[in-house]
Chains A and B, each alone.
Chain A
Amino acid sequence: MAPLGDADHCRDKARRDLLALLEGARGKKNLVVSQELAGPVSLFIKFSVLQEYGVDRVFLLENANIDSSQRNVVFLVRGEKAQHVRTVAQQIKRLQNNGNVEHEFSIFLTPRRTLVSNAVLEEAGIIGDVNIAEFPLHFLPLEQDILSLELDDAFGDLYLHKDPGCIFQSAKALMGLQQRHGYFPRIVGKGDNARRLADLLLRMRKEIDAEESSGLADPSARGLLPSADTESLIIIDRDVDFGTPLLTQLTYEGLIDEYVGIKNNQAEIDTSVVGQASGPQAQESSKSPQQAKPGLKRKIQLDASDQLFNQLRDANFAIVGDILNKVARRLETEYETRHSAKTTVELRDFVNKLPAYQLEHQSLRTHTNLAEEIMRLTRSETFRKILDVQQSNAAGIDPINQHETIEELIARDAPLKNVLRLLCLESCMAGGLRPKDLENFKRQVIQAYGHQHILTFWALEKMELLQPRSSATTMLLPTSGQTGTKTNYGYLRKSLRLVIEEVSEKEPEDISYVYSGFAPLSVRLVQCVLQKPYIISLIKGGTPAASVNNASTGSPGWLGFEDVVKSARGSTFSIVQKGDDKAVRARQTLSGNNATKTVYVYFLGGITFTEIAALRFVAAQEAPRRKIIICTTGIVSGDRMMDAAIEKKSFANAE
């Protein structure tokens, strides 16, 4: 058994690697980080540690304000982004030209040094003047059970630009996991990009086998076998289920993400809501290398280190108030014990606990305020209207009835993202909009939000998020027969029981609680692999809860659900990675059979917090037989999906 969890391992490795690189540039130095990496870096290293390693100040690449205050300048950017490398080259040239300091430049490229970045630096004529090093940063641990590549652009790259770069990065990162644990004995997946990822994994394995015993391969990669403590890798392509993330997330963490936005486990929240940073929290928030701006916004750390948040995050928002009340009451009674403390020992006990109380109290105050703020939003008329439209779409009620509401939202200048999400949701769930309706909405949206959105619509169409319903065939593709080009929610809604009317938010029995009655298709698919008996009994309408626990690992892969799964988009596959049989058996005997097996669930193209909550719910049911580790290219939400498509420029004169 590995002594460290994957999350801790990734964090340690990233930290070690970066510090080793920083040590390579001797003496004091200024660090220039690209915006998209600043957050991720703060996930595994504190600014104070960077300082210990000689970092004097941290600059953002995008601000282009690096100065000559230190001789040593270190850049940290993604090697895959030629644009960023170009910017680095410009800034280096600027410093070379105007400073009287003779600078020493280092460029750390993550996750790898690319041929293209070499070409860029060569073109700029500085490749000879700089130290270039690789910083192999792949998975970043968001939580113990979440590994993310934190690629902000993955969604747009994959589905709009059809740029498979992030598939390659995913494959590299997963190879890292395989090198640690052995090969995934089985790779199950759904979706065309998922297939591509699986193929890459197979190919990379072949290449490593080819390199094996040559000096080239990492010695740890030698003689790799199928892992004994891993059960499988399940890859879900985001485009199999575009519908789910378009719905408004209804868990606490999901709603925070919808309304405030969570980035790298941090949310910037208005100080009018959560108050000024104070005492210990202030130090917490200075973790990030950038200076928190005074006033206005405050950064809140949202992760498992906050126990209260951990309790709240995956709960449906409907019961968050209750939980907060309970905690408040408990805290109060505990605090009251100080009056009953009679002996000095009791008193000392109380004083010892005081800091913990204060911390918890502080967190309680933050979350109560935050919850109230969100409550205010969820009570608004717009929110209700949007939710109505969504719920009826999810439930498969004829969407035409909702068009008037959408038109009203447009006329009332509701946020563009919300409107587009509703349109896309309808398109995804119903297999496209009627061409006439689509034309209508296009006009209205463009008139309301600006003609630059001609491009937005085109992008959405390219991503196949918003399309005209070309003919009946696309809509009702296969209940059987060839694989669909679009996910047929109509059919799957029934065959996988996505909609569950009687859902208890308090004591959930099914993952559908996360959307108050709608089960994310993506996670249902995972259940098709992991919890077959449960799904079968669910479809038959038996008492599902009872059958969860006697689920067996019996039939692997999609077995039993092949036909159903065909109505979701993209290819379906289940690949067994074989190794030397004898060695495998030997290993199994060694590790014993009752050990907890790990299942890696990879969401290619992003995952929402609600889906994470749903997967955690599944994981809790599967414990202790299985452990589920969620991996993804990044956290996604409906808004972020829209962001990829929305044209940001307008026809107004540039300032």
Chain B
Amino acid sequence: MAPSNPLANWEKVGDSFYRKIPVYDAIFDEDVELENYIVTGAPCGGVIALHRDESKPIRLRDTQTSRSSIDIYSCSGKQINRINWDQASIRGIGWSDKEELLVVAEDGTVRRYFGLDGDFTSFSLGNGAEEYGVRACQFWASGLVALLSNNQLIAVSKYDEPRPKLLAPCPEGEVSSWTVIPPAQTLSRSVEVLLAVDRTIYLIDSTEAEDKVLQDGPFKHVSMSPTGLYVALFTAEGKLWVVSNDFQSKISEYDTKSRVPPDTVNWCGDDAVILAWEDEIHLITTDGASSKYYYDDRVHVIPEFDGSRLLTNDSCEFLHKVHDVTEDIFRLGSSSPASVLLDSVDQLEKKSPKADENIQMIRSSLPAAVDSCIKAAAYEFDAYWQRRLLKAASFGKSALELYNSDEFVEMTEKLRVLSAVRDYQIGLPLSYEQYLRLSPEGLIERLISRHEYLLAIRVSDYLQIPADRIYVHWASQKVRVSSGDDEAVCKLIVQRLEGKPGISFEIIAQTAYDEGRSHLATQLLNHEPRAGKQVPLLLNMEEDELALDKAIESGDDDLVNYVLLHLKSKLPLASFFRMINTRPMASALIETAAQDDDIELLKDLYYQDDRPIDGSNALVSESLRETDPERKAEKLVLASRLLADSKDPTVVLQQKLINEASQLMKAQESLDKDLADRSEFLGLSLNETIYRLVRAGYGKRAHKIQSEFKMPEKTYWWLRLRALVAKRDWGELEEIGKNKKSPIGWEPFYNEVLGAGNTKLASVFVPKCTTLPVADRIEMWIKCGMIVKAGEEAQKAKDINTLELLRTKASGPAVTEIERMINQLKPRK
């Protein structure tokens, strides 16, 4: 085949060249009358949606079009799917960058079709869309804005968790055209809208509408360039303006001399605007230069960020600006190094020495020339010229001593993938830059949604990208279309996917379940290695017990809680308890959760489980929460009753203690009534109660309570001691000191009183501490400041050394006393 002229279809517009590359031909059947359709294309060479334009007359005998539908074609004209539309009339069709079809109905219903198989989710715009009706919609890569008939704007900025939000109210007036500015190009980082109202344009964001104060409206078209730098405006006088994005300066103006405004105004890359009438296209660069193309029949423009696809019945073309590298090489009379390098390949084939001459000539810029050739190959659609340019690059780098060939190798890989998917049978006319933007993973996703599994697997192997999603999609599709019996399908799938890592059987099972084949779903689910993944589906399938077991198996408490929450609301209490009974983790989680928010459930649980102590404790805990004393008491009675008739010593003790609590509360209430104006005793512990009574001087009542509650003597004595010391009731303490015996000994008395600073009284207790060693008692005396007494103690023990020590500490008359004792002890000579 003779090589096509690389300059074919080049058109000089102003200073730069544009070229129109024919990608596919014979797209649609003759009987598809494109002029009657609204055509929207997914970005990056994606599929095309055709929807009959309802404003156009319908031929009656055409049965197919009588029902509203959307047809989805690949760029090469292969019909992929037909979506029947049974909702209110369509007001907007658009694509997300993930090739999801968005259809907005007049009543604000939005359907998002994903995967091209007709599966969809839907949500409603709300915010008054239903009352006023949607007038039009504009889409960007990940969201949409709808314009209601009352000029309100509703924005949805993501589809997986759609959250329709009203933008700032728009001023009154006739909206003649509008466009969205994607969040990536706004300062606020959220979507904004340009709205042409009457003679001017408003910039509307979520909080305010800013008037750009223009005079030359109404503008029939507004369009923002892909990078957001420029805005194209089409005025009522038939002029196209390109202005900067702040509307401060006009970049260019072009007079179409047409009274009829074009059907569409789109950007072609960032440097040119395409105006399209029925069968005529004007390309206007930002410099104001223009070029015109004429067609035989209706032409549709599908904008891309780096150019435009032009679609007619016969052909699909890609119109874009010729890249500088390409221009440098192919422009007539070009003598750039890369061009020379390309030429030398020709010479080489002719075995002409000029090949080497060429190389010598450009030696200094050879590396750059090689780079240029590699780059230019990227922008070629024709395999011949790709090869040619790569050959030139290869020849050039062979003449270089050091050259990193990574880029070269990568480029060959990329071009190979690109040419595979550009094939008309696949129909993905990706340009090189679109491929970069789409990413290899995105490309595979697209192949999957076209059911091109084999190619997808080959590409992913070639590029070393995980292929599990392809397998899973394949299997899901298998489940959907196969009608064989469940065993066979399951076996087939498992066999084919065996040994492939990362396969999510859960997704396949979900598909099976959605198809109503729950037996198959269960079987498939058994092959899912991740227990946690199985749970939600099992719940859906009402395999409750299995779901609970799998959740527990996963060890994920959240998952278990989730299942339990689900089961609790679904099952009758008895069967719910039965289910958690045998699963300790489940019952532990239920118990913990119920302690906070569902004490009734807890009580039932304990009752069913025959756990009386737990049950009574739940009541005690409730009693503690009550504010009213009577209610508190009631709960305690209930708690105690639960424990009746048991012989288990633990239970008996528990019951006793609970009864004691009731008893104490009663006693305290009467104390409060008798002794205090307000609640003072209620809620104190028994010890505190007695302590306070003693301190307040109600010794008798304290004693009464002590005996009533059988408080140990020791404790009682301690309490009395501490309370009296706190009260500084020295008399009473002295009185107690007259007792012969104390259950806690006398040392505590000494210590506490001394600690309170009363040395005199403390000293009273020293002689009573008869069990202590002498040395301790001496120390005690000293602490009271009674050296003489200490001396006496030492003298009794015949301890001269200590006496000597004491003498040093003594002062005043004590000194002589001590000396006297020393002398007494000293052996008489």
Name the one of A165, A448, A451, A649 contacting B661, with C-beta atoms under 8 angstroms.
Answer: A451
Q: How far is the CA of A443 from the CA of B653 in the complex (A)?
A: 9
Stretch at the interface among A345-353, A409-417, A583-591: A409-417
Q: Report if A207 contacts B (CB, 8 A).
A: yes
Stretch at the interface among B388-396, B707-715, B780-788: B707-715
* B617 & A82 in contact (Cβ 8 Å cutoff): no
* A653 & B679 in contact (Cβ 8 Å cutoff): yes
* A210 & B529 in contact (Cβ 8 Å cutoff): yes
Stretch at the interface among A211-219, A274-282, A359-367, A545-553: A211-219
Minimal Cβ-Cβ distance residue in A for B614: A458
Q: Report if A617 contacts B (CB, 8 A).
A: no
* B712 & A444 in contact (Cβ 8 Å cutoff): yes
**Which chain B residues lie closer than 8 Å to A115 at the CB level?**
558-559, 561-562
**Which chain B residues lie closer than 8 Å to A407 at the CB level?**
712, 714-715
Q: How far is the CA of A195 from the CA of B554 in the complex (A)?
A: 15
Q: How far is the CA of A129 from the CA of B161 in the complex (A)?
A: 10
Known: A455-B620, A653-B629, A653-B682. A410 touches B504 (CB 8 A): no
**Which chain A residues lie closer than 8 Å to B387 at the CB level?**
none
Known: A435-B649, A448-B686, A450-B685. A411 touches B621 (CB 8 A): no
**Which chain B residues lie closer than 8 Å to A504 at the CB level?**
none
Name the one of B466, B532, B632, B714 contacting A213, with C-beta atoms under 8 angstroms.
Answer: B466
**Which chain B residues lie closer than 8 Å to A446 at the CB level?**
657, 660, 685
**Which chain A residues lie closer than 8 Å to B557 at the CB level?**
80, 163-165, 168
Q: How far is the CA of A652 from the CA of B632 in the complex (A)?
A: 10
Q: Report if B484 contacts A (CB, 8 A).
A: no
Q: How far is the CA of A449 from the CA of B529 in the complex (A)?
A: 53
What is the 8 Å Cβ interface bit string for chain A, positions 189-220, against chain B (1 contact, 0 not)? 00000001001100100110111111111000
Q: Report if B163 contacts A (CB, 8 A).
A: yes
The dominant DSSP class at the A interface is helix
* B585 & A119 in contact (Cβ 8 Å cutoff): no
Name the one of A80, A215, A451, A452 contacting B468, with C-beta atoms under 8 angstroms.
Answer: A215
Minimal Cβ-Cβ distance residue in B for A452: B624
Minimal Cβ-Cβ distance residue in B for A413: B687
**Which chain A residues lie closer than 8 Å to B617 at the CB level?**
454-455, 458
Minimal Cβ-Cβ distance residue in A for B126: A128
| CB under 8 Å from chain B, chain A span 209-267 | 209-217
| CB under 8 Å from chain B, chain A span 432-476 | 435, 439, 442-444, 446-452, 454-455, 458, 468
Nearest CB on A from B169, distance (A): 13
Q: How far is the CA of A128 from the CA of B649 in the complex (A)?
A: 55
Q: Report if A8 contacts B (CB, 8 A).
A: no
Q: How far is the CA of A276 from the CA of B189 in the complex (A)?
A: 46
Q: How far is the CA of A114 from the CA of B627 in the complex (A)?
A: 35
**Which chain A residues lie closer than 8 Å to B556 at the CB level?**
168
**Which chain A residues lie closer than 8 Å to B588 at the CB level?**
161-164
Q: Report if B530 contacts A (CB, 8 A).
A: yes
* A213 & B657 in contact (Cβ 8 Å cutoff): no
Q: Report if B243 contacts A (CB, 8 A).
A: no
* B722 & A116 in contact (Cβ 8 Å cutoff): no
Q: Report if B596 contacts A (CB, 8 A).
A: yes
| Chain B: number of interface residues, binned into ranges | 35 or more
Nearest CB on A from B259, distance (A): 45
Q: How far is the CA of A652 from the CA of B685 in the complex (A)?
A: 10
Known: A82-B593, A119-B562, A214-B466. A447 touches B715 (CB 8 A): yes
Instruction: Give the number of residue pairs across the A-B interface with Cβ within 8 Å.
Output: 179
Nearest CB on A from B325, distance (A): 33
Q: Report if B284 contacts A (CB, 8 A).
A: no
Q: Report if B758 contacts A (CB, 8 A).
A: no
* B657 & A444 in contact (Cβ 8 Å cutoff): no
* A455 & B189 in contact (Cβ 8 Å cutoff): no
Name the one of B502, B625, B687, B744 contacting A216, with C-beta atoms under 8 angstroms.
Answer: B502
* A211 & B685 in contact (Cβ 8 Å cutoff): no
Name the one of A79, A215, A650, A652 contacting B466, with C-beta atoms under 8 angstroms.
Answer: A215
Q: Report if A654 contacts B (CB, 8 A).
A: yes
* B565 & A210 in contact (Cβ 8 Å cutoff): no
Nearest CB on A from B154, distance (A): 14
| CB under 8 Å from chain A, chain B span 590-643 | 591-593, 596-597, 613-614, 617, 620-621, 623-625, 627, 629, 632
**Which chain B residues lie closer than 8 Å to A458 at the CB level?**
613-614, 617
* B718 & A412 in contact (Cβ 8 Å cutoff): yes
* B744 & A408 in contact (Cβ 8 Å cutoff): yes
How many residues of A are in contact with the other chain, CB < 8 A?
Answer: 66
| CB under 8 Å from chain B, chain A span 117-171 | 119, 128-129, 157, 161-165, 167-168, 171
What is the 8 Å Cβ interface bit string for chain B, positions 499-538, against chain A (1 contact, 0 not)? 0011110000000000000000000000001111000000
* B715 & A450 in contact (Cβ 8 Å cutoff): no
Q: Report if B459 contacts A (CB, 8 A).
A: no
Known: A116-B562, A653-B682. A413 touches B625 (CB 8 A): no
**Which chain A residues lie closer than 8 Å to B592 at the CB level?**
157, 161, 163
**Which chain A residues lie closer than 8 Å to B559 at the CB level?**
115
Known: A209-B501, A446-B657, A447-B685. A164 touches B555 (CB 8 A): yes
Nearest CB on A from B613, distance (A): 7
Nearest CB on A from B727, distance (A): 16
**Which chain A residues lie closer than 8 Å to B629 at the CB level?**
653
* B658 & A454 in contact (Cβ 8 Å cutoff): yes
Q: How far is the CA of A495 from the CA of B691 in the complex (A)?
A: 48
Minimal Cβ-Cβ distance residue in B for A199: B555
Q: How far is the CA of A413 from the CA of B692 in the complex (A)?
A: 13
Known: A444-B712, A454-B654, A650-B624. A203 touches B469 (CB 8 A): no
* B679 & A447 in contact (Cβ 8 Å cutoff): no
Name the one of A79, A216, A450 contacting B684, with C-beta atoms under 8 angstroms.
Answer: A450
| CB under 8 Å from chain A, chain B span 179-227 | 188-190
* A444 & B591 in contact (Cβ 8 Å cutoff): no
**Which chain A residues lie closer than 8 Å to B653 at the CB level?**
439, 442
* A651 & B555 in contact (Cβ 8 Å cutoff): no
**Which chain A residues lie closer than 8 Å to B657 at the CB level?**
442-443, 446, 451, 454
Minimal Cβ-Cβ distance residue in B for A116: B561
Nearest CB on B from A440, distance (A): 9
* A412 & B469 in contact (Cβ 8 Å cutoff): no
Q: Report if B664 contacts A (CB, 8 A).
A: yes
Q: Report if A384 contacts B (CB, 8 A).
A: no
* B683 & A651 in contact (Cβ 8 Å cutoff): yes
* B624 & A411 in contact (Cβ 8 Å cutoff): no
**Which chain A residues lie closer than 8 Å to B530 at the CB level?**
207, 210-211
Q: How far is the CA of A59 from the CA of B617 in the complex (A)?
A: 36
Q: How far is the CA of A446 from the CA of B661 in the complex (A)?
A: 9
Nearest CB on B from A326, distance (A): 33
What is the 8 Å Cβ interface bit string for chain B, positions 415-426, against chain A (1 contact, 0 not)? 000000000000
Minimal Cβ-Cβ distance residue in B for A117: B558
Q: Report if B23 contacts A (CB, 8 A).
A: no
* B683 & A210 in contact (Cβ 8 Å cutoff): no
| CB under 8 Å from chain B, chain A span 69-98 | 79-80, 82-83
Q: Report if A647 contacts B (CB, 8 A).
A: yes
Name the one of A80, A112, A413, A652 contacting B682, with C-beta atoms under 8 angstroms.
Answer: A652
Nearest CB on A from B712, distance (A): 7
21 pairs of residues in contact across A and B, judged by CB atoms under 8 Å: A80-B558, A82-B593, A116-B558, A128-B163, A168-B556, A213-B468, A214-B469, A214-B501, A214-B504, A215-B466, A407-B712, A447-B686, A450-B683, A450-B685, A452-B620, A454-B658, A468-B650, A649-B621, A649-B625, A651-B632, A652-B679
For the complex of A and B, 10 pairs with smallest distance between CB atoms: A652-B683, A214-B502, A451-B661, A411-B718, A162-B588, A165-B557, A115-B562, A447-B686, A450-B685, A214-B468
Q: Residues of A with Cβ closer than 8 Å to B?
A: 26, 79-80, 82-83, 112, 114-116, 119, 128-129, 157, 161-165, 167-168, 171, 196, 199-200, 203, 206-207, 209-217, 381, 407-408, 410-413, 435, 439, 442-444, 446-452, 454-455, 458, 468, 647, 649-654
Known: A448-B686, A652-B684. 12 other contacts (CB 8 A): A26-B190, A83-B596, A115-B559, A196-B555, A211-B530, A213-B502, A214-B468, A214-B469, A447-B711, A450-B683, A468-B650, A652-B682
